[in-house]
A and B are shown apart, each in its own frame.
Chain A
Amino acid sequence: MNPTISENRRKQEKITFRMDHFRKVSGKFLINLIIYALLIELVFVFLYPLIYLVFNSLKYDFELIDASKVWVITRVNAENYSNVFQKMNYFHTLFNTLTVVLISTVGHVLSCGLAGYGFARFQFRGKGIMFGIAMLSLIIPPQVLIMPLYIQYSELNWMGTFLPILVPCFFGFGLKGGLYIFLFRQFFKTLPKSYEEAAKIEGCSMPRIFFSIMLPIAKTTILVVSILSVVWHWNDAFEPDTYLSNYNKILVQRISGVAQYGVKVTTALGNEINLDAMAACVLAMLPLMIIYFVFQKQFMQGVENSGLANF
């Protein structure tokens, strides 16, 4: 009697275990399926304009009228690109953009790194207030400041050069400078003080500690700040518009607007497409995309580990 009862019970347990397991696994599968579907759908919504742009920039105009050929390209049209290349004076404007973007990024890293370190490690009078003001500088709409700055710069004869954009970056006040100070401060706060104490015992002076020890450790934060600064300066239309009305110094984003005056073709789906504008936009975005793709993994990890969350 005993063996058969326990045998039956064991069999029963095995069956119910299998059923539970199956239910759990299939439930998990179902949930994962839904999640994947949702995410892929969203990715499609995000990527659709971009893919549309790239595909359209490679088309000939007669292909647009045919409604059946939205995504199919029979012949690749490189003429759009060569037209726009010339109109945009691409290499020159690209060089301008790169100059502005890279120099301002270096300025941001240096000045905001210094300021962030100062706010993180030292207690001096007025520190709280000053940090609050640094954050406040983010909220100010640039329009409030733009008029006096405009007057100031025209008196200094800086209009038409890159200086109005570049110089504030070296003092912590470029585009979204307060955010970088915040990031650096968060990072430096997470470092143990023993680093500095060890260096001081060895007789290292404060500035040297910063440049030789702190900066190399802060590599991920520097990467995050650099990428953000590059992206925002590249896409910024406000400051260049105001200060750089000189044709020689125009930036890539702005000049892609030149292509807007080209020919607009109405497709069968009812919207108007300007093929030149498509190619111009691709060219304007391409270097930024390349930079981003090269650094994206470290950048994402850097943001996630940057201690932004614990504030």
Chain B
Amino acid sequence: MKIKKSKLTSKENKWGYFFTAPWMLGFLAFFTYPLVYSLILSFGKVRDIVSYSLDFAGWTNYANAFFQDTDFIPLLLDTLKEVLIKTPLVVVFSLFIAILLNRELKFKGLFRVAFFLPVLLGTGVVMDTITGNIAKTASELAAEAYESMATSSEEMISLSGTLVAIFGYRIAYFMSNLLTLTKDIFWMSGIQIIIFLGALQTIPESYYEAAYCDGAMEWEKFWKITLPLVTPTILLNTVFTIIDFSTNAGNKVIKYTLDTTFKDFNLAYGSALGWIYFVISGAIAILAFTILRRFTNYD
């Protein structure tokens, strides 16, 4: 005999539609419509700018992106490499810091504020000013130092000169790149640290005490208690970091897409580029999600 849901519950559930109504409207107006329109755009070719009219051109834009455009593919690969390399580093680093901050420490508040600072400063003009004025990019430094043949102590004033004078050109270049990489990782881990801190605090103290009674050392405590309980948060943070890196406005691919769309006014091609990037970064995010899901265990 089928059990019917009572009329009361199904009537109540209709309220769900009421509550999500604004979002649904927004979904249609600000999401579906632009999405579909940009998809159509990407398959077309703009005839003239003023009236935004389109010729249907099939897959030409996509083919152009892959086979004819010399800039897009290298930028795409660069960005993807960046995402794939930096994401695990960011997640591991923020987990490490969160564990450190979880102990009984004085000045905990100061530490948390300091680590959240990069999120406050954001990207854009302020960040460029700050970082640009303090450290020029690695390649500029290295090139400068190489040109000035910094072997005498006079040129050792700046960091680049010192590095080159002591280690030689190649190693100094490598070290500058490493420093830039660490700086990037620090800068992007602000929110992850806080999320991990929150997750770590939900682990009851009694687990650790029980383990201590059984004779577990710090190392084992981490691997056997902390890590398994934190796996859902690792999943969340990884997906969030991938999204963060992919949609970061300072991204090379995104800048290139914007330039194509607005400066060259090549609407259709820019839309196609955007879609390619979206599909690829979305695929990476979904891939990470499904892979990591296997490893997460819920209590």
Query: What residues make up the interface of A, taking CB atoms closer than 8 Å to B?
Result: 35-36, 38-39, 42-43, 45-50, 52-53, 56, 67, 110-112, 114-115, 117-119, 121-124, 127, 130, 133-134, 136-149, 151-152, 168, 170-173, 181, 206-207, 210, 231-232, 234-238, 253-254, 256-257, 260, 268-274, 277-278, 280-281, 284-285, 288-289, 292-293, 296-297, 300, 303-306, 308-311
Contact with A along B11-23 (1 / 0, CB 8 A): 0111111111111
Q: In the complex, what's the smallest C-beta–C-beta distance from B298 to chain A, in angstroms?
A: 8
Query: What residues make up the interface of B, taking CB atoms closer than 8 Å to A?
Result: 12-27, 29-31, 33-35, 37-38, 41, 52, 97, 100-101, 103, 105, 109-126, 129-131, 133-136, 157-158, 183, 186, 194-195, 197-199, 201-202, 230, 232-233, 236, 243, 246-247, 249, 254, 257-258, 261, 267, 270-271, 273-275, 277-278, 281-282, 285
Among A234, A288, A309, the residue within 8 A (CB) of B233 is A309
B19, A304: Cβ atoms under 8 Å? Answer: no
User: What residues on A are CB-neighbors of B112 within 8 Å?
Assistant: 296, 300
Q: In the complex, what's the smallest C-beta–C-beta distance from B2 to chain A, in angstroms?
A: 18
User: What residues on B are CB-neighbors of A284 within 8 Å?
Assistant: 125-126
User: What residues on B are CB-neighbors of A274 within 8 Å?
Assistant: 129, 133
A42, B130: Cβ atoms under 8 Å? Answer: no
User: What residues on A are CB-neighbors of B21 within 8 Å?
Assistant: 114
User: What residues on A are CB-neighbors of B101 within 8 Å?
Assistant: 39
Known A124-B14, A281-B130; contact A39-B124, beta-carbon cutoff 8 A: no
User: What residues on A are CB-neighbors of B271 within 8 Å?
Assistant: 144, 147
A43, B105: Cβ atoms under 8 Å? Answer: no
B23, A172: Cβ atoms under 8 Å? Answer: yes
User: What residues on B are CB-neighbors of A268 within 8 Å?
Assistant: 157
Known A130-B20, A171-B25, A292-B120; contact A257-B125, beta-carbon cutoff 8 A: yes
12 contacts between A and B (CB under 8 A): A42-B115, A119-B16, A139-B282, A146-B261, A147-B261, A148-B33, A172-B23, A231-B120, A253-B125, A304-B194, A308-B195, A310-B232
Q: Count the A-B residue pairs with Cβ separation under 8 angstroms: how many? A: 275
Among B35, B103, B199, the residue within 8 A (CB) of A145 is B35
Q: In the complex, what's the smallest C-beta–C-beta distance from B141 to chain A, in angstroms?
A: 9
A115, B261: Cβ atoms under 8 Å? Answer: no
Q: In the complex, what's the smallest C-beta–C-beta distance from B296 to chain A, in angstroms?
A: 10
A143, B261: Cβ atoms under 8 Å? Answer: yes
User: What residues on B are CB-neighbors of A234 within 8 Å?
Assistant: 122
B18, A139: Cβ atoms under 8 Å? Answer: no
Known A235-B122, A304-B197; contact A148-B37, beta-carbon cutoff 8 A: yes
A308, B198: Cβ atoms under 8 Å? Answer: yes
Q: In the complex, what's the smallest C-beta–C-beta distance from A48 to chain B, in angstroms?
A: 8
Q: Which are the 9 A-B pairs with shortest beta-carbon distances?
A: A171-B26, A235-B122, A122-B16, A118-B19, A309-B199, A304-B198, A148-B37, A144-B274, A148-B34
User: In whole angstroms, what is the CA distance A119 to B18 when docked?
Assistant: 11
User: In whole angstroms, what is the CA distance A39 to B100 when docked?
Assistant: 8
Known A173-B26, A271-B136, A300-B194; contact A124-B16, beta-carbon cutoff 8 A: yes
Find the A residue at minimum CB distance from B118.
Answer: A46
A115, B121: Cβ atoms under 8 Å? Answer: no
Q: A118-B18, A277-B133 are in contact. List 13 more A-B contacts (CB 8 A).
A: A42-B186, A43-B111, A50-B121, A115-B20, A118-B23, A134-B23, A139-B281, A207-B18, A278-B129, A281-B126, A297-B109, A303-B197, A304-B201
A235, B121: Cβ atoms under 8 Å? Answer: yes
Q: In the complex, what's the smallest C-beta–C-beta distance from B149 to chain A, in angstroms?
A: 15
User: What residues on B are CB-neighbors of A142 within 8 Å?
Assistant: 247
Interface centre among B24, B31, B134 (most CB of A within 10 A): B31
User: What residues on A are CB-neighbors of B232 within 8 Å?
Assistant: 309-311
User: In whole angstroms, what is the CA distance A24 to B15 when docked?
Assistant: 60
A143, B25: Cβ atoms under 8 Å? Answer: no
Q: In the complex, what's the smallest C-beta–C-beta distance from B212 to chain A, in angstroms?
A: 12
Interface centre among B14, B23, B135, B158 (most CB of A within 10 A): B23
User: In whole angstroms, what is the CA distance A274 to B130 when docked?
Assistant: 10
